[in-house]
Amino acid sequence: MPPQAPVSIDQRPLPRVWRRAAALGGVWAAVEIVVGSFLHNVRFPLTGTLLACLGICLLVAGCRVWPDRGLAWRAGLVCALMKSVSPSAVVLGPMIGIVVEALLLEAGVRLFGRNAAGLAVGGALAALEPLGHKAASLVLTFGADAARLYAALCELAAGALRTPALGPGAVLLAFTGLSLVSGLAAVALGMAVGRQARSAAAVSPAVEPGGIAYGEPVADPWAAPDGQRFAPILLAAHLAALAAGLALLGRLPWPVSLGAVLAYGAATFARYERVRRRLARPRLWIELAIVSLLAGLLLGGLTADAGVGRSAGLATGGRMALRAVLVITAFAAIGVELRNPVLMGWLLRRGLGGLSAAVGIAFAALPHVASRLGDQRRLWRAPVRALGELLADAVRWLDERETGAPRAGAIWVLTGGPGDGKTALALQLASRLRQAGAGVAGIVAPASASTRRAVPADAYDILDLDSGRRAPLCRLGGGSGRERTGRFTFTAEGLALGRAALARAAARRCEVVVVDELGPLELRGGGLAPAFTALLDDPPAALLLVVRRTLVDAVVARWNLRVVSIWDAGATDAGQAAADVLAALGKRP
């Protein structure tokens, strides 16, 4: 097999706009997660509107600090994906809302320029998103009868208050006006935050060596609940069930509709823990009961629709409640299936350039940003200063990563997909380098002997190249390990062996150190990350890193690495690769 030409990391850098979107999206996500959880816990009545205004404020501030075209929508994508670590049981709706807000603000900037007018138009449009999102959600959940119920409520309120002008259109117009005003206020606040951020970043001390503190590992955003299995066919089935239900519930006899929704709900309830948590909330059933009762009263006799009859109104309310149960159940199930790591990886690799790497960078800084939001009293008392310093911190962090000195030592990355032979190539290189007289140490993660034929394997061991010791590293599904990523649970024994091997390689100052592999667990600060970071403080002459193809950019950015070449495991000749490493060491093959 002819050797593949190495791919230099300089030929595939993460674009600057994605790095800045990672910083801005990370700050926005921290505000969404920390402040949003607080507002939901205290039952603040306008949580969605307030979070939207904070998002607009941060987007505007980011656009004032960084003039990159397309920054807003990229930051929205990063924030939306990071929103998946929110304590909320259902995040699909808020994720959509975040992306729409960012797109609307981006549209204003594209139409009128990156100036006060463009930001004002974009911010005002983005501020309409919560109102439009709520209206669309109600119509989708309860059907067209929700609009009739809204009109009946407005007419009832107008009669009780003796205010004929209080019609459905007037109320909607009033809410629209309030949204526009709140959006313009958020834009003004964002401009002030942007000025504060630029000023704070210019006069504050530089970031201390080593970069920003990463804090405790963050939960894997793509990891499923424990024991959750995925099936692409079920995602299609849920989408089909939702579409069929919305089309047929109003046409089928009531007993048939009730039986179908109950059967679907029971099956979904049994499979998904997230659906069980969602449907176990008393608030959901109270809301459905109130809607049914209001429909029975208002659409059944208390308004101009008196001819409908009380029983017909109650039937309408029951149909609305039944439709709501179907929609809520289906969307909760779809939200779980969309977290399929295989599906998420495929989406991130298709047409979004540096999104995957940007999300990895943002997650690395999330603990630090969230810790800065710990004292929320300061945020409410002095929002411009608090948000400005938070964004300035992100500016300094990004500047340090862009201008800081790269790690010394020659670094090669062995990459590929599952089953491409990354570990096999690492073992071949280690053997050839030793035969040429190079000192080699480190770790590899071969598949366990019991599952070696599976692709990808469902169990991996860890092998110390220096001592020859071997231990279980990770296993599919649950287990006694405390660290998880995706569907795998890592053992304390295996991680301890890997960390000790890297520490011993650093202490002995081996010429070549192999690290197989750096993955999502390490990007969060767990797994082998502490030992690998310590190894970089006094790096060996050569490092061979095994990294899956989709995470190369995130790993390079996370540790500020200067990579010599990236080798694709499926198309790289081990002899030529070993010769390249030996040449860098000043040795002959």
Compute φ and ψ for 565, nearest 5 degrees: -150, 155
Q: Is the per-residue pLDDT at 185 higher than 90? A: yes
Question: Same domain, yes or no, for 153 and 296?
Answer: no
Q: Specify if 326 maps to a domain.
A: yes
- Output the average pLDDT for the chain: 77
Question: Same domain, yes or no, for 210 and 243?
Answer: no
Q: How far is residue 64's CA from residue 316's CA, in Å, rounded to a whole number?
A: 51
Read off the pLDDT of residues 471-511 as tens digits, 9 standing for 90 and up: 998 887 765 556 777 678 888 899 999 999 999 988 888 88
Q: Specify if 517 maps to a domain.
A: yes
Q: Specify if 578 maps to a domain.
A: yes
Q: Specify if 372 maps to a domain.
A: yes
| pLDDT for 547 | 92
Question: Same domain, yes or no, for 506 and 482?
Answer: yes
| pLDDT band at residue 182 under the 50/70/90 scheme | very high
Question: Same domain, yes or no, for 216 and 293?
Answer: no
Nearest to 222 by CA among 356, 329, 353: 356
Q: What is the DSSP letter of 10?
A: G
Across-strand partners of 462?
471
Which residue, 318, 337, 356, sits at the end of a domain? Answer: 337
Q: Specify if 1 maps to a domain.
A: no
Evaluate the CA torsion angle 527, 533, 534, 540 in order and state its sign.
Answer: positive
59 within 8 A of 74, measured Cβ to Cβ? no
Task: Print the domain residue range for 172.
Answer: 9-224+340-402
Question: Same domain, yes or no, for 517 and 580?
Answer: yes
| pLDDT for 151 | 75
Compute φ and ψ for 483, nearest 5 degrees: -115, 135
DSSP-derived secondary structure for 120-169? HHHHHHHHTHHHHHHHHHHHHHH-THHHHHHHHHHHHHHHHHT-TT--HH
Name the 3-class secondary structure at 474.
strand
Q: Specify if 347 maps to a domain.
A: yes
Question: Which alpha helices (H) appear in 461-528, and where do they start and end?
Answer: 492-508, 520-523
| pLDDT for 220 | 45
Helix axes 383-403, 355-372, angle to 10 degrees: 130
CATH of the domain at 563: 3.40.50.300
Question: Same domain, yes or no, for 568 and 542?
Answer: yes
Q: How far is residue 535's CA from residue 502's CA, in Å, rounded to a whole number?
A: 7
Task: Name the domain count of the chain.
Answer: 3
Q: What is the DSSP letter of 564?
A: E
Read off the pLDDT of residues 392-439 as tens digits, 9 standing for 90 and up: 877 777 766 655 555 557 889 999 887 788 999 999 999 999 988 888
User: How many of the other CB atoms lie within 10 Å of CB of 179?
Assistant: 22
Which residue, 360, 382, 402, sits at the end of a domain? Answer: 402
CA 541 from chain centre, in angstroms, equals: 36
213 within 8 A of 368, measured Cβ to Cβ? yes
155 within 8 A of 303, measured Cβ to Cβ? yes
| pLDDT for 430 | 92
Question: Same domain, yes or no, for 45 and 188?
Answer: yes
Q: Specify if 3 maps to a domain.
A: no
Q: Is 232 exposed, middle or buried (0-12, 13-18, 19+ CB in 10 A)?
A: exposed
Across-strand partners of 475?
459, 489
Which residue, 285, 320, 337, sits at the end of a domain? Answer: 337
Q: How far is residue 223's CA from residue 208's CA, in Å, rounded to a whole number?
A: 33
238 within 8 A of 330, measured Cβ to Cβ? yes
Q: How far is residue 298's CA from residue 145's CA, in Å, rounded to a whole number?
A: 11
517 within 8 A of 529, measured Cβ to Cβ? no
Name the 3-class secondary structure at 225.
coil
| pLDDT band at residue 46 under the 50/70/90 scheme | confident
Q: Specify if 4 maps to a domain.
A: no
Name the 3-class secondary structure at 542.
strand
Question: Same domain, yes or no, for 125 and 91?
Answer: yes
Q: How far is residue 535's CA from residue 505's CA, in Å, rounded to a whole number?
A: 8
Question: Same domain, yes or no, for 208 and 91?
Answer: yes
Q: Is the per-residue pLDDT at 262 higher than 80? A: yes
Torsion of CA 95, 97, 98, 100, to 10 degrees: 120
For Cα atoms 581, 559, 17, give the angle at the middle one, nearest 5 degrees: 115
Read off the pLDDT of residues 331-373 as tens digits, 9 standing for 90 and up: 888 877 777 766 665 665 554 556 666 776 677 666 666 666 6
Question: Same domain, yes or no, for 525 and 380?
Answer: no
Read off the pLDDT of residues 71-105 as tens digits, 9 standing for 90 and up: 999 999 888 887 765 544 446 778 888 999 999 99
Q: How far is residue 241's CA from residue 253's CA, in Å, rounded to a whole number?
A: 17
Percent of the chain with pLDDT over 70: 74
Question: Same domain, yes or no, for 34 and 172?
Answer: yes
Compute φ and ψ for 583, nearest 5 degrees: -65, -40
Question: Same domain, yes or no, for 540 and 425?
Answer: yes
Q: How far is residue 512's CA from residue 506's CA, in Å, rounded to a whole number?
A: 10
> What are the percentages of helix, strand and coil residues in the chain, rounded to 5?
65, 10, 25
Nearest to 223 by CA among 342, 332, 62: 342
Q: Is the per-residue pLDDT at 133 higher than 60? A: yes
